[in-house]
Structure 1
Amino acid sequence: MLKLIIASLLFTSSVYAEEFQAPVTDTNWNVIESPLECSLMQTIPSFGQAGFYRRNGQALQLKFITDSLSAEQDTVLLEMSAAPWQNTEQYDTLATLPTISGQREFIFDGVLAQQALAKMQDGRFPIIRYQSQSYNGDTTVKLSTVKFNDSLPAFQQCLSNLYPDSFDEIRKLTVYFESEKANLDKASINALTRVAEYVKVDDSVNQIIITSHTDSFGRKRLNMPLSEARAKTIRDFFVSKYEVPADKIVLRSFVDHDPAATNKTPKGRAYNRRAEIELVR
């Protein structure tokens, strides 16, 4: 009787191990192309979706995203199948990463994602194995290579066209002014051009805050209009040169009460004659 019970438990455990893969006859890749992000994703029935993703300024990612098969606190194994011409069922292990309870996204980035992408072009496919909260055995998910090479060129073209600056790289900028002047020099124009061009491609930027300052040189009643003129010069550059909507721009003007450096030296005052530009999402 005891043997029957043990056998029944083993059988039940093996039944609960599940494998997910898009059917050969209904495998599709969805390519999303924009100046800021590229994705090449495949729907995997009863699991969710998986594929490749890259945001500008970030590394390539291989992502498996499940709708309902959350992980236990354990590990997830990333493997690559053998190529069809190798005529073997062996798999190459690329990585083992820790998982947390309830995790629904499994992300492998950088070199791992690049390796997987390259191997898929040879007919190999990525596989993940992990313990889910829904089954006693392994949950195995395979990314199909069907139609992969048909969609890959569009994804690669998107990668090559990604905007060079990321939001984190461009969201804060400081430009400087000559004493008692509000005009932009060449370095400032180049820096502001990068910001304006980024704002044109990133619809998530809701505000551009321009905060201008003066040094302590001169009378305060003259420095306040000077500070305002510096902020307006930058605003006008964005609006007239790049058609940035004026209602996106917020101006804040100060004199010398928030110095970035000492006002006792020429070098310090040069740092204080500034305007700080911040992008807000």
Structure 2
Amino acid sequence: MRLRLLVLACLLAPSANAITFQTRLENAQWQVEGDQFECRLSQAIAGFGKGEFVRRAGEQPTFRLQSPDRWFGTGAATLLAAAAPWQPERNDLNLGVVSVAGGDIPFNSSQLQAGRLLTGLLEGRSPVIRHRTLQGGDALEVRLLPARFGKAYEDFRVCTTKLLPVNFEQIRQSQIGFPAGDIALDALGQAKLDIILQFLKADPSVNVIQLDGHSDNSGNRLTNRDLSRRRALSVEAYLIANGVPKEQITVRFHGERYPLVPNSSEANRAKNRRVTLRLDRGPAAVSATAAPTAPAS
């Protein structure tokens, strides 16, 4: 074991023309934090900040670095799953580039890259990021270590089982469809609303709900306007029946005036028969019945 540590220290020592950040092997620790909105699996990097995997509700994990000193220059950094020094039969895996934009969090990897990094860590590989410094353009390498990763990864997986099925960005504007000529919610519409209701119960700060009813152009204007109104009211009634205060909901209706797509086919008309549900944070909206000039689409 002492020989392994000696080899590791030699191979990971910064070269004369490079700046390298990593935590000493004996100090490397992985930490898991999270709630029903987000889970994080991180390792502190001595002198730099930290690297972390972040899985938000409704998404797969991504990988990122955080550094208050903003070491990275802008451009494309190389992301590697580096082989352990005591496994000479393995090569480093080049996972491609990440786009560095600067700031405290210089980049976020793709979900595919993060998945391959997690697999690599379970195999004893190290996430490595190679780039250039913001000042001077010197070669820069940041490395995380796989030490004590297995138990932390299991804790991370347990955290992810408690995540909500969606995050706010995924539902802040949703479409609830309706069959032709119908005003009743079908099973798919109820299922969509049930997911939204689950999020609303978890995050009471989302307390502004705007409903915009729409129709296709199959009927006359008055019939279409009434259909769009009754569809919006059907969604409102479902939300209220499931615990949403009525004062948090604004209902508007527009008939056929604002189609998503041209009413040129049955498939397109089906897309236009909808209620758009828009969520926001703030004081409860005041109910309004006047049609707006720019409705939610």
TM-score, normalised to structure 2's length?
Answer: 0.68
The letter of the residue matching 1:276 is T
Distance 2:113 2:164 in 1: 23
Secondary structure of 2:108 counterpart? strand
Matched, 1:174 2:182: no
118-127 vs 268-277, which moves further: 268-277
From the superposition, tell whether residues 263 and 66 of structure 1 become closer, same or farther in structure 2 (CA, over 3 Å).
closer
Distance 2:268 2:125 in 1: 60
- 1:196-211 matches, within 5 Å, as 196-201=197-202, 205-211=206-212
From the superposition, tell whether residues 20 and 247 of structure 1 become closer, same or farther in structure 2 (CA, over 3 Å).
farther
Corresponding position of 1:6: none
Corresponding position of 1:10: none
Distance 1:182 1:115 in 2: 47
From the superposition, tell whether residues 219 and 75 of structure 1 become closer, same or farther in structure 2 (CA, over 3 Å).
closer
Distance 2:264 2:93 in 1: 62
From the superposition, tell whether residues 213 and 141 of structure 1 become closer, same or farther in structure 2 (CA, over 3 Å).
closer
From the superposition, tell whether residues 152 and 71 of structure 1 become closer, same or farther in structure 2 (CA, over 3 Å).
same
Asked whether the 8 Å contact 2:221–2:255 carries over to 1, the reply is no
Deviation at 1:252, TM superposition (A): 1.1
User: Structure 1 stretches of 5 or more lacking a match?
Assistant: 1-13
Corresponding position of 2:253: 253
Secondary structure of 1:107 counterpart? coil
Equivalent pairs, count: 265
Deviation at 1:173, TM superposition (A): 0.9
Corresponding position of 2:19: 18
Deviation at 1:153, TM superposition (A): 0.7
Distance 1:75 1:253 in 2: 47
Deviation at 1:40, TM superposition (A): 0.3
Deviation at 1:210, TM superposition (A): 0.7
The letter of the residue matching 1:95 is L
The letter of the residue matching 1:20 is F
Corresponding position of 1:110: 111
Corresponding position of 2:31: 30
Secondary structure of 1:184 counterpart? coil
Q: Which runs of 4+ in 1 moved over 6 A?
A: 222-226, 260-272
Distance 1:277 1:78 in 2: 39
150-159 vs 222-231, which moves further: 222-231
User: Structure 2 stretches of 5 or more lacking a match?
Assistant: 1-14, 282-297
The letter of the residue matching 2:132 is Q
Deviation at 1:165, TM superposition (A): 4.0
Q: Deviations over 1:124-178 (max 9, x none)?
A: 2222222102455322211123332231111122334444445555432133266
From the superposition, tell whether residues 97 and 229 of structure 1 become closer, same or farther in structure 2 (CA, over 3 Å).
closer
Name the structure with the higher helix share: 1
Deviation at 1:106, TM superposition (A): 3.5
- 1:53-132 matches, within 5 Å, as 53-73=54-74, 75-83=76-84, 85-86=86-87, 88=88, 92-97=92-97, 102=102, 104-132=105-133
Corresponding position of 2:244: 244
Distance 2:39 2:151 in 1: 16
From the superposition, tell whether residues 252 and 121 of structure 1 become closer, same or farther in structure 2 (CA, over 3 Å).
same
44-53 vs 186-195, which moves further: 186-195
Matched, 1:142 2:134: no
Alpha-carbon RMSD? 4.0
Distance 1:145 1:268 in 2: 52
Secondary structure of 2:69 counterpart? coil
The alignment-based identity, stated in percent, is: 28
Q: Deviations over 1:96-135 (max 9, x none)?
A: 5265574652433233322221221233222222210245
Deviation at 1:25, TM superposition (A): 4.8
